[in-house]
Structure 1
């Protein structure tokens, strides 16, 4: 494609063409198609859409000279391209018929035959004599590109070809009607003239240069070549009613056009509106620039105003602080003056008070005696009330009950634990044994340890029977109830081990202090009583007494003061008992006794539980003390099943022969069918007996007899164990009287039948060795979740593999018209019913996610409704991985795609993608006729009748990051 200007004819500079713009690179560069190539473009698209899905995928290294076809990421259509760069299995391609580029994977790239290697339909054009005025990373560069994008993208233009650059870029002058596009670009300074003195120069001023990096030429294409950018459009299709593919060579992209006629046509098309439209676009861009500058000025002005406001606020704050300090100083000065005046007044009053004290001395002595009498009366009442128990006394009593009467761990418990450890180790060795010759020795060793264990159990049970565990538990519970009633709820705290010792010492000290205080009070009051008796004798004039005046007058004040002091101390000692330190000691003791109670309760409950476990083990081992379980009963049942299966097949052959005979014997046919039904019923009963026998043997193998698995390989106990009872090898497709479900068998064969009196559905899956293992693993995982919570996911009744075909069958309960799709088609759910149904579906999905299972196949046909009240999650294709299930074609609800955006980008399924599918189903339930597209940055349509309440708000569109929603009917 490289050429020099000199290689073109002289009349090239004056050649005129009409083109349709398909891609804008920057402010002066764009890609366009010849307007005469519309039919060629349509023909090329039709041929590519027909051939590319089945074409050969690209293998090896691509040729830079050949055209290939790539699946465009935005519309998933096929377009011709050239490979520009390769890194591993990623290719940077350029769409030759449109001009844009993107990175695609190897799986999206196919080979094209030679008949599709014709010339590209789009060419690259650049304004003649212009070069960019800013760097690519600057905002001005992006504004220039957007300006040209709005001005010419998708429009027909008239170009005057001037020259061609070395890389094939055509230098042109561009007109829309009489409107010069280049002059508008220059007017807004998005470009500059290259050589103002010589507009006829054929070479650009800035030399082409290579760029470093993974895709070195992406900078030349601009950010518009990135698929997510504004300029990256897959194609620009002209409106046409005829889209039937035609032979490409009939409409060559190189067809010439009569320039005067085409120019006249373009002038006719653009004359009414293009000039006006261009002027409006220019005015709009001018207004945008003015608004931008005005906005910047307003922002700067606002910032300066905010700074001024902040400074003003600081000044006001300092002024307020200054006023507050000044006010505080004035207050202090005023208080000082008042204190001086008060001191002066007190100094004047004191002499007067001294005189009044002398005058009223006689009345003061009387008042002191009256107060003393009142306090002595209060002491008497306190001593009478203290005869009852205090909280400290009650706590001490409870501590005594808990500590002194506790039951310790039985002495035989340690011996029992050692016996259990030896027995467990013997079982472990037996399970890990791979040599069948060593099994018998290990079994004998196990039996020996088991006998020792049974002896230890007997000793333990005898000792426990002599312990009053029940009475002790009742006593502890009674004490605990009384303590919590007094102290309230118990909080977990770090309590010291010496709390009881501290409490007892504190309680003893309190009792001693109380006794000492009472003795001191009694002594003081007795001394005062003796003084009063001497006074009485002294003032008795009838009798002569030996009491002298000195005895009466000496020490009266001290006796009275001592009596008042001791009585006052005794009255206040009760209040001082409840200070912070005392309360802490009592609280610690309370928590410690509660801790003792809880520990002993746990010990006693553990002893009881251990007794029950050992009693149960002893009862189970009575019949196996000197023997090992056998599989004779299982083998007999298997033999019986084999015989009944043969009888059933033979009777079915006989019935078939009678039905195909020329002379139909209807009574004989009916009789034979009754025999078939009876034989089938007996066979199903024996299969159920086989399952019960397997469950017994598996319980024994998981427990005390692991040798059953290696000793009896013919019983295949390990398969039943590994599948957790799901795999039933005795079942086969031909033993069922099944009817095909043709309306539901579009994806895989489904048949309807009965099994043990229950209506069931058999779903068939084609399997090989790899998918058989995967199916069994995934089915067991699903079955384990269903077994734990049977009412929230569709149960798996059994799984079996066909003996005469490479099919695996899943047995499920039959739900007539139970799928959400069928219910909505027959009788749509009301809003309140929808809330209940979707709540059940979410609970099932939450259980699967809790077990690390991603469903990846949620759609209205796989959510079932029970009695229009409960929704349950259906099973999925166990032969496929979650990645394969997620991209299944059935992941739609109406016209809503249930495949999360991240899955379409190649990311693996996660619980969030399941939540996306649930959101799509809820949208479909609320708006069944919704046919729009929810874009990544679009707004979610309003969902009527439902309210979504989540632990966090999900990001649109309908995306949940590990959040399970609760559906509430409004």
Structure 2
């Protein structure tokens, strides 16, 4: 078993030997001294140690495992925590006996190496079965210092320091253990001594442990223990150097034991094959466990040092060999490159020889081609490359720059004083003081009129439109060349830098062009002289150094000059030049836009001044009359009196003993006509009020102060909704108890329109609130200009005899969502149209900072099954009072989760109710989840832009005559809503979150 080729007799010997090991491990000696060497530290009072007498056993186990385990198969199935396996230690890749402590995952297990005490997480593939003869108890034992324990409140840092301290006292050192007791888990409780040092006392002095109370052996055995898995995992993270974390691998990679010469001979004798066991170099560095060894510690250290130096030299040798190979490869590469360069040089030489034969021809042809391009460039204006267009634009801006008219500043001052005078009149409460303020205002009007005339005259004399047209054309032309300008700060330094750059570029180009002309002139002169040299008719010798210049120098100079000029004309500008032009263009464009804005401001002021002047002439030193309004009120008073008289006359005829039917019918017709006349005058009164309101807001804020009898201020505060001429008894009202049981609700007809009259009980405090809330709602509806999505309010009036406020609204019979769905549900196309209108209504309210707070099926209307509108709400209640009413749709609450949590109502809570009312369809499923999700920040405007409202819809024509189709439609709608059952169930249970 110890080496390959082992005989059967050797196996028998080993079996006997391992039996001895088992017997030694099973003996328990209390009150006896043992010599051990520390092998693993768990905490400040707990550690593992090996008996010095078992050093030989450790070596046998290691040799046996090294032969058996590599050929063994990995463990399959469940791992037995009581069984001993072979584990491949990751640090030195050697096999050691281990037990499984914990299954970490399918592939990972936490094991303890039982012969040393340390732990490691291994893959299942690194754990193998071992023979029965190796299934004996561990060599290492777990010890605990006698009378000490770790405090329960000890911090992790102090715990780690204590573990480190104990390791410095006993790790790999020979210590004496005086056995005192044994715990249930096999831990030996003993007193540890290292020479004359009591290790327990040292730990106690450092404060890493504290003394236990005196206890019997039974108490010690029943001592409370930590969970093994937790303790092992804690020790895996302990700063005490474990096998894989020590500074020197040779110190901890393998079990420690002194390998004396005697031990080597003993092992050699046990191998019948005569093969000497070769141990790894770590074995030579272990501590001497056998006190009888003749090998000194100094000798071992010297051997270890030699081994380390050999390893270092081997490493250096390998590095030098690698470097040599790399250099050899590099030399080969350089040799190949040299050959390539030589071949290239030969080719180049041949090419130069061939080129020199046609050198003059080639140069002259190239120069001639460049001259053709230069001639064309000389006919093109390249000044744009030097920013000439920007220079022209700057000149245009400087020469005709439009400045703020002088009269405009004076006009602004007087206008501000005039506005202040109007505001003072508006806030005045006394007529006497108001008259003084009105006189001051009228005086200010005269000054303002004169200032307006001066401003108009000055603007007329200036050529604003012509200047604006010039700036616009200039802007368009520059943008066509340079594109969109970048943002930048306005700075005169940029324009100065551009001017310097332009001058430098112009000077450079002029110099280059002059140099080109001179070079060409010199070349032409050379050709003329050369012509004479080769002309036989010319007598005399013309060949001399002075007469014949160097043609190579002339050609070189000419080519250089021509190329420079072409480069300036054709090659793109550099980044620095582009940056200067871009910054200048940005500055020019900013100046253009700034002047355009100034002109636009002056033109707008000019237009307002013209209109103001026209109106001011009409009302200058005049005060509007309210006589027409008083006349209408007088007419209304007489019509209402006549109407009441006719009503009494009709009642008398109906209650008489012999009623005349024709007479009663005639009076009814007269009453109907009188009612129409009354409402016609009420509408005339409203028109007059609107005209006076406009005058009071713009010209005559004193109207409410001077004429309190007409109630103009109340009308203005109500947003044009309040009327004081309408009374409840003037209407032919029919009670509508089926619509509301909370307040008076009647139906009537006004000028051919069916209306509802809602009654609200009010007192002195709530009356103003009702008017204010209704007015805010009415303004939001009116400002939306026909696309509000809101139910319009017709009139609001107060009862003179009872504390009641009445609100008149249009009546849409059987058009609320509840009635429509009960009668015949909307189809998919109608649903989207209606719900988009409702979303528009909520958007109108939220834009005006109004929270509806009580959206439900009865105040959402589907007009003609295609237009959705939002109904009004109870104006006597605040938004919090409205939102506190628990409205339901089926068994689904319309109160949002945040309201249930006590938070105030918000646009989000309105949209939550809208989401619950939303007629569910596959097309709106994603929108629905966004609406009812807790803490959703979706707005009504985002709902209007939802994909389901923007996509084109297929037209579908419902057939109300087919009840069977209607039933199938309902079933389909029920199936579609099943996907949202979980969300709705949470809502019904009052939960505040939705996971759709």
TM-score tier (shorter): 0.5 to 0.7
Q: What residue is the counterpart of 2:895 in the other structure?
A: 899
Larger radius of gyration: 2
Does the C-alpha gap of structure 1 residues 465 and 437 become closer, same or farther in structure 2, counting only changes over 3 Å?
same
The 5 A counterparts of 1:857-936 are 857-888=854-885, 891-904=887-900, 906-922=902-918, 925-926=919-920
The within-5 A match list for 1:74-85 is none
Shift of 1:754: 2.5
CA distance in 2, matches of 1:796, 1:386: 72
Q: Tell me the secondary structure at the aligned position of residue 705 of structure 1.
A: coil
Structure 2 residue aligned with 1:624: 619
Q: For residue 773 of structure 1, what is the aligned residue in structure 2?
A: 768
Is residue 2:735 matched to residue 1:740? yes
Name the counterpart of 1:472. Answer: 467
Q: What SS does the aligned partner of 1:743 have? A: coil
Deviation for aligned residue 1:671:
2.1
Contact 2:888 2:894 in 1 (8 A): yes
- Asked if the contact 1:537/1:545 (under 8 Å) is kept, the reply is no
**How many angstroms apart in 2 are the aligned matches of 1:908 and 1:825?**
33
Q: 1:355 to 1:843 in 2, by over 3 A?
A: closer
Shift of 1:871: 1.2
Separation of aligned partners in 1, 2:794 and 2:600: 39
The corresponding residue for 1:201 is none
Question: CA 1:415/1:381 → structure 2, altered by over 3 Å: closer, same or farther?
Answer: same
The answer to whether the Cα contact below 8 Å between 2:851 and 2:910 also exists between their aligned partners in 1 is yes
Which of the residues 835, 841, 845 maps onto 2:842? 845
CA distance in 1, matches of 2:327, 2:561: 44
The 3-state SS of whatever aligns with 2:449 is: helix
Decide which of 528, 539, 542 is 2:523's aligned counterpart: 528
The corresponding residue for 1:507 is 502
Q: Within 1, Cα distance between the matches of 2:421 and 2:709? A: 25
Q: CA offset at residue 755 of structure 1?
A: 2.7
Structure-2 separation of matches of 1:714 and 1:374: 99
Q: How does 1:585-604 map to 2 (within 5 A)?
A: 585-604=580-599
Give, in whole Å, the separation in 1 of the partners of 2:626 and 2:345: 115
2:930 is aligned with 1:949: no
- Listed one character per residue, the Cα deviations across residues 867-902 of structure 1 (whole Å, up to 9, x for unaligned) are 21121111111111223223436x122332323344
Q: Deviations over 1:741-798 (max 9, x none)?
A: 2321323222122334432211111122222222122212222221222431111112
Task: Give the Cα–Cα distance (whole angstroms) in 2 for the partners of residues 865 and 681 of structure 1.
Answer: 29
Describe the shift of the 1:330–1:687 C-alpha distance in structure 2 as closer, same or farther (beyond 3 A): farther
Taking the TM superposition and a 5 Å limit, the aligned residue runs for 1:461-860 are 461-545=456-540, 547-576=542-571, 578-789=573-784, 790=786, 791-860=788-857
1:915–1:960 contact (8 Å) kept in structure 2: no
Show CA shifts across 1:914-948 (max 9, x none): 233223223xx44xxxxxxxxxxxxxxxx656323
Change (3 A) 1:328 1:469: farther
Alpha-carbon distance, 1:821 to partner: 0.9
Change (3 A) 1:423 1:921: same
Does the Cα contact within 8 Å between 2:793 and 2:808 map onto a contact in 1?
A: yes
1:960 pairs with one of 936, 947, 960: 936
How many Å separate the matches in 1 of 2:548 and 2:351?
23
2:562, 2:908 → 1: CA distance?
A: 78
Structure 1 residue 865 displacement after superposition: 0.8
561 and 489 in structure 1: CA distance in 2 versus 1, 3 angstrom threshold: closer
Residue 328 of structure 1 deviates from its aligned partner by 12
2:422 is the counterpart of 1:444: no
Of 368, 372, 389, 1:373 maps to 368
Look up the match of 1:109: none
Aligned length: 642
Secondary structure at 1:916 match in 2: helix
> C-alpha displacement at 1:664, in angstroms?
1.0
**Cα distance change on mapping 1:438 and 1:651 into 2, 3 Å:** same
Q: Secondary structure at the match of 1:526?
A: helix
Inter-CA distance 473–357: structure 2 relative to 1 (3 Å threshold): closer
Structure 1 398/339 Cα, relative in aligned 2: closer, same or farther at 3 Å?
farther
Separation in 1, partners of 2:229, 2:734: 75
Matches of 1:353 and 1:658 in 2, distance apart?
132
The 1:360/1:857 distance shift into structure 2, 3 A limit, reads closer
Conservation of the 8 A alpha-carbon contact between 1:535 and 1:552: no
**SS in structure 1 opposite 2:749?**
strand
CA contact (8 A) 1:831 1:946 kept: no
Aligned to 1:113: none
Q: TM-score, normalised by structure 2?
A: 0.59
Q: What TM-score, normalized by structure 1, do the two folds share? A: 0.60
Bigger mean CA offset, 859-868 vs 475-484: 475-484
Query: 1:684 touches 1:755 (CA, 8 Å); kept in 2?
Result: yes
Give the superposition deviation at 1:355: 11
1:329/1:609 CA distance change after superposition, 3 Å:
farther
Deviations 1:128-185 (A, max 9, x none): xxxxxxxxxxxxxxxxxxxxxxxxxxxxxxxxxxxxxxxxxxxxxxxxxxxxxxxxxx
Matched, 1:431 2:407: no
Unaligned runs of 5+ in 1: 1-292, 304-310, 312-322, 927-942
Provide the C-alpha distance between the structure 1 equivalents of 2:876 and 2:823, rounded to a whole number of angstroms: 31
> Any idea what SS the aligned residue of 1:627 has?
coil
Per the alignment, residue 277 of structure 1 pairs with none
For the 8 Å contact 2:653–2:664, the answer to whether it is kept is yes
Q: Relative to 1, partners in 2 of residues 1:627 and 1:643: Cα closer, same or farther, differing over 3 Å?
A: same
Report the Cα distance in structure 2 between the residues aligned to 1:332 and 1:682, rounded to whole angstroms: 116
Once the two structures are TM-superposed, the CA of residue 342 in structure 1 deviates from its matched residue by 5.2
Instruction: Identify if the C-alpha distance between structure 1 residues 916 and 554 changes in structure 2 by more than 3 Å, giving closer, same or farther.
Output: closer
Q: Does 1:364 align with 2:359?
A: yes
Q: Cα 1:909–1:564, aligned 2, differ >3 Å: closer, same or farther?
A: closer
Shift, 1:907, TM fit? 4.2
User: Could you report, residue by residue, the CA deviation over 1:440-463 in whole angstroms, capped at 9, with x for unpaired residues?
Assistant: 221111111111111111111122
Q: Does the Cα contact within 8 Å between 1:916 and 1:959 map onto a contact in 2? A: no
| Residue 327 of structure 1: how far off its partner (Å) | 11
Q: Following the alignment from structure 1 to structure 2, what is the Cα–Cα distance between the partners of residues 644 and 329?
A: 123
The CA distance in 1 between the partners of 2:813 and 2:383, in whole Å, is: 76
Supply the distance in 2 between the matched residues of 1:622 and 1:548 (Cα, whole angstroms).
101
| Contact preservation (8 Å) 1:741, 1:751 | yes
CA distance in 2, matches of 1:565, 1:879: 94
| Contact 1:473–1:604 (Cα < 8 Å) also in 2 | yes
Question: Whole-Å Cα distance in 2 between the matches of residues 446 and 636 of structure 1?
Answer: 29
Query: 1:906 Cα shift?
Result: 4.5
Structure 2 distance, partners of 1:544, 1:392, is 56
